[in-house]
Amino acid sequence: MRIIKFFLVLITIVGLGFWSFTKYLDLSEKIKLSRFNLIKDELGQNIIGSNFYPQELSILDNKFKVEYTFSPELNSYIKKLLKRYRSDYSAIVVIDNETGGILSAVGYEKKTHSFNNSIVFSGTHPSASLFKIVTSASLLKSPNVDDKTSFRYRGRKSTLYKYQLSSKRTKWDRKTSLKQAFATSNNVVFGKAAINHLTPDDIYKMANAFGFNTRLMEEIALEQSKFNLPQGDYHLAELATGFNKETLISPIHGALLSLVVANEGIFTYPRMVSRIYDVKNKETIWLNSPRSHRVLDEDVSRDLREMMKMTVKRGTARGGFKNLSRFLKQNLNIGGKTGSITGGNPFGKRDWITIFAKPKLQGLGKGISVCVMNINVKKWYVKSSFLAKKVVDYYYRKVNPLARRVANF
């Protein structure tokens, strides 16, 4: 009997000890989370509020070291580029396709002659025709559409009147493929294709898969991109084409649209901070490991990649890239999508481009994705496609020289 009581007491003590240890671990994790939330708030105030990327933060008598994914060399070049070609407002974002690491995120405001990070991280910008990437992915998933599917349209490509969406055939109708319609940003074709081949739920789910209505970053309060569920056929056409001011996006997210296509359908979340380290206690508070998941089948991604490449070769982005060096043209797969629309906050005419630039040799990595957004209030200063070309050229000549890697491959 005494032995049984002894074991019961022993079990109780061990149980209380395990419970206490578990509670200690829970409390430790909660303390770490609380500290991380304080650090995140302080980071946001510095980066967005003060346009400053702190290397170290002092909070509650503790010092925390912040490690970034940035390329200092590329950042410096982009700042010089924006100060030279001064639009009223500009933002340039460069992301490593493989890791999601943000290599550069710079905003500029001409009026104050200063860098303005709030432009980069705000989700107040109408996406315009960039959204055709999402619509194309949804269309290519449907059983009756591929990049060669022919569509009829009439009127100007850049307009979207209700009569243009009619299925009635006329002698003024013209025909084009989905691939060509994407390259030339044909609103009429994309509006009709969405009405005839997609449901509101189809395109809404695809938008969410591409990161709309989703929290994309942990370390900073990046505004969520906004996409609404279409209500009726004409609204579906407006949203599918990007011919509206209600679908909103950030330049960070703009670069991700190209990243998904470059990564064969894998969505990799963007990262600006790789690690936060407690200097006093000599421990890592937060490790921001790469996170990703598949959103497109490889065959859909491949077709979409070819459509984006045509946009650069023969479509709306061809002018900006025509003077890219022959070596880079021969050794890189470059694809993109442009867009333009008036509205948003700050108000003005937005000139967008999102591109991927990926080495053709598979062993040389997945390359980068770039998003450039210029906002012009009264007059144009420089095309976004031209700035994107300059960034790609500099990155593969100076930051990560492609010629040397090709020679050594």
pLDDT given for residue 407 in this prediction: 86
pLDDT given for residue 355 in this prediction: 99
Rounded to the nearest integer, the mean pLDDT of the chain is 92
pLDDT given for residue 128 in this prediction: 98
pLDDT given for residue 32 in this prediction: 58
Would you tell me the crossing angle of helices 298-313 and 132-141 to the nearest 10 degrees? Answer: 140
> Is the pLDDT at 338 greater than 90, yes or no?
yes
pLDDT given for residue 11 in this prediction: 55
> Is the pLDDT at 315 greater than 60, yes or no?
yes
> Is the pLDDT at 25 greater than 60, yes or no?
no
Q: Would you call 218 helix, strand, or coil by DSSP?
A: coil
Residue 190: partners with Cβ closer than 8 Å, 6 or more residues away: 132, 135, 181, 182, 237, 240, 241
> Is the pLDDT at 7 greater than 60, yes or no?
no
Lowest mean pLDDT among 86-90, 110-114, 163-167, 404-408: 404-408
Which domains, and CATH codes, for the chain? 68-408 (3.40.710.10)
Q: Is the dihedral of CA 44, 50, 53, 58 positive or negative?
A: negative
From CA 103, how far away is CA 100, in angstroms rounded?
A: 9
pLDDT given for residue 19 in this prediction: 47
pLDDT tens digit string along 34-88?
Answer: 777 888 889 888 998 888 899 999 887 889 999 999 999 999 999 999 999 989 9
pLDDT given for residue 170 in this prediction: 86
More confident call, 25 vs 214: 214
> Is the pLDDT at 26 greater than 80, yes or no?
no
From CA 284, how far away is CA 314, in angstroms rounded?
A: 49
> Is the pLDDT at 256 greater than 70, yes or no?
yes
pLDDT given for residue 15 in this prediction: 54
pLDDT given for residue 255 in this prediction: 99
- Render 222-235 in DSSP notation, one character per residue: PPPPB-PPP-SHHH
